[in-house]
Amino acid sequence: MINFLLMLLGQIIVYMLIMLGDEYAGFLLAVIIGAICFGIWAISHIVEWIEPSRVNKNYYRYMLAGWVGPAIAVLGFILLRGEISWLT
């Protein structure tokens, strides 16, 4: 569980630093990677419900962090800045 939290915190820090450097590239990177990880996570869960496998439960935690981390970073960046400046 501690590895999950450390990975989540590390992702949030990295995405926030990228967004501070270049808001447009950081936002797109977080959204694209987050969407891909969410899709893989969702498909994995659906397949697991249909046919259970012996996949380690840590896989699902790490995939969860793969889309929750970018989502928290984007939402935090929007809340701190008040807007996304390249959209206005």
The predicted-structure confidence for 42-85, as pLDDT tens digits, reads as follows: 999 899 999 998 888 888 888 899 999 999 999 999 898 888 77
Assign 87 a pLDDT band (cuts: 50, 70, 90). confident
The stretch 26-52 carries a mean pLDDT of 93
Do 67 and 40 meet the contact criterion of CB atoms below 8 Å apart? no
Predicted pLDDT of residue 57: 85
Q: How far apart are CA 29 and CA 17, in angstroms?
A: 12
Where along the chain do its domains lie?
9-81
Predicted pLDDT of residue 76: 92
